[in-house]
Amino acid sequence: MSIKTKLTILNFLEFFVFGAWLLSFGKYMHDTLGFKGEEIGFVFMTLGFASLIMPGVMGVIADKWMSANKLFGFSHIAGAFLLVWLAQQSNFEGVFWVTLLYLMFYMPSIALDNTISYCLLVKNNYDVVKDFPPIRVWGTVGFIIATWITDLMGWGTSHMQFYFAAAVSLLLGIYTFTLPDCPPDKSTRKTLAQSFGIDALKLFKNKQMALFFIFSMLLGAALQITNMWGEAFLHDFGKIAEYKDAFIVKYNGVVMSLSQISETVFILTIPFFLKRYGIKTVMLMSMFAWFLRFGLFAVGTPAGIGAAAIILSMIVYGMAFDFFNISGSLYVEKEVSAKIRASAQGLFMIMTNGIGAMMGALLSGWVVDLYREGDHVNWQSVWTVFAIYSLAVAILFAFSFKYKHNPEEEFEVAH
């Protein structure tokens, strides 16, 4: 089996585990456990907190004592047992603390997945920029298939989604030990500051990079909003008699997964758009896509023209996500010095999946509760607020971020 095939399986299973429960988690807490919006927001903040702290901790461990693939494997084996424990929780305190503990193992595994992929591709003389996106796209395919299985099996409002994810996590942990080793490079061992991305803070002295990281944080908040509330929003239409049997309501997980299908298409277009238009235009396209994502949700319903709006919202998600998350990571790789490249990637993750995610979780939970009347949520108003937020971010970025793109310059990452 080739290295690229092995890495494809790795990425497929990595995001399969996430897809088995992430999109339905908010719906599960909202409808099955009866949590308030603020409580759901606090639970989703654990994704941000784990992304803020644990990648650096895992980086120190991988740098000093354990190869990346072994650490990745142990993380998923431990995560499998924690998912089983999560399935047994029913109150806010239990769900919050077990979710936090689980994500402290899972969230850094995303960075470790990239580390393993980059390590093995470079060792086998592949081009990371050209060869990694087609491998990474299979992670999205895994996410989609897991979401479909959870939804079609009726596990989206059941604790069975966590048992399902646990089984795959255990399989992935064991599989990782079959990969070639990616031991720490002792010749370039990182300091503690590098492991936590602290030394990359010097990038904030550069106005352009500072603005890039700040706006990446604001987009990270937008991503958390759609992860938390998408399925809960569609599921709530089931409370309306004329919509309760609509496909979009009955199979809301499958419908939401159209977003990830769109992602698989847009991720393959990134090299073209970055080379032709540059990071500023690509980021602006992402921001306006977020505006459309939320705006179309605001006017969407499960039938007629409203259903078309919901489907179109799923399509634009691919651009909204990929054009800031994947493109942003590649931009950081290109722009920063090789000496702080790893730390800069860690800082990018902290700003998007850490601080941004925590901000999005907390504020969106507050917005949902603001427009809640008893058991009813005025979702049109909720999504309108989020759309205005995205448009404001886009306008601010357009006028504040200065970047001159040279289309003749190859967008390549040094190995």
CATH at 269: 1.20.1250.20
Question: Same domain for 79 and 217?
Answer: no
| Final residue before a domain boundary, out of 156, 179, 202 | 179
Distances (CA, A) of 139 to 15, 183, 323: 5, 24, 17
Does position 5 have pLDDT exceeding 70, yes or no? Answer: yes
**Residue 200, CA atoms < 13 Å, CB-side half-sphere:** 29
Q: How many domains does the structure of the chain reveal? A: 2
Q: Which of 91-105, 135-149, 232-246, 271-285 has the highest mean pLDDT?
A: 91-105
pLDDT in tens, 13-69: 999 999 999 888 988 998 889 888 889 888 988 888 887 777 767 766 765 677 778
Does position 250 have pLDDT exceeding 70, yes or no? Answer: yes
More confident residue, 260 or 63: 260
More confident residue, 252 or 197: 252
pLDDT in tens, 268-311: 788 788 778 888 888 899 999 999 999 999 999 998 899 999 99
Question: Same domain for 208 and 357?
Answer: yes
State the pLDDT at residue 342. Answer: 63
Q: Is the residue at 187 inside a domain?
A: no
Does position 415 have pLDDT exceeding 60, yes or no? Answer: no
% of the chain exceeding 90 in pLDDT: 31
Q: Which of 72-86, 174-188, 369-383 has the highest mean pLDDT?
A: 72-86
More confident residue, 192 or 267: 267
Q: Is the residue at 412 inside a domain?
A: no
Q: Which of 85-94, 189-198, 338-347 has the highest mean pLDDT?
A: 85-94
More confident residue, 79 or 193: 79
Question: Same domain for 60 and 166?
Answer: yes
Nearby residues of 292 by Cβ (< 8 Å), 6 or more positions away = 312, 313, 316, 320
Listed range (68-77, 108-117, 122-131, 282-291) with the worst mean pLDDT? 122-131
State the pLDDT at residue 321. Answer: 86
Contact between 237 and 290 under an 8 Å Cβ cutoff? The reply is no
Does position 373 have pLDDT exceeding 70, yes or no? Answer: yes
Contact between 147 and 254 under an 8 Å Cβ cutoff? The reply is yes
State the pLDDT at residue 383. Answer: 94
Q: Give the domain range for residue 368.
A: 194-406
pLDDT in tens, 313-342: 999 998 998 888 877 777 777 777 666 666
Question: Same domain for 198 and 96?
Answer: no
% of the chain exceeding 70 in pLDDT: 89
State the pLDDT at residue 199. Answer: 63
Give this prediction's pTM. Answer: 0.78
| Final residue before a domain boundary, out of 179, 209, 233 | 179
Q: Which long-range contacts (CB under 8 A, 24 or more apart) does 61-64 make?
A: 62/112, 62/115, 62/184, 63/184, 63/189, 63/190, 63/195, 64/184, 64/189
Does position 190 have pLDDT exceeding 70, yes or no? Answer: no
| Final residue before a domain boundary, out of 179, 211, 228 | 179
Question: Same domain for 201 and 318?
Answer: yes
Q: Is the residue at 239 inside a domain?
A: yes
State the pLDDT at residue 56. Answer: 66
What is the helix (H) or strand (E) element at residue 186, kind and residue range? none
What average pLDDT does range 125-138 have in this prediction?
80
Does position 414 have pLDDT exceeding 50, yes or no? Answer: no
State the pLDDT at residue 413. Answer: 41
Q: Is the residue at 322 inside a domain?
A: yes
SS3 of 30-72: the string is HHHCCCCHHHHHHHHHHHHHHHHHHHHHHHHHHHHCCCHHHHH
More confident residue, 414 or 5: 5
What is the helix (H) or strand (E) element at residue 377, kind and residue range? strand 376-377
Q: Could you tell me the pLDDT band of residue 155, with boundaries at 50, 70 and 90? A: very high
Query: Mean pLDDT in the chain?
Result: 84
Q: What is the dihedral of CA 316, 317, 318, 323, to 10 degrees?
A: 100
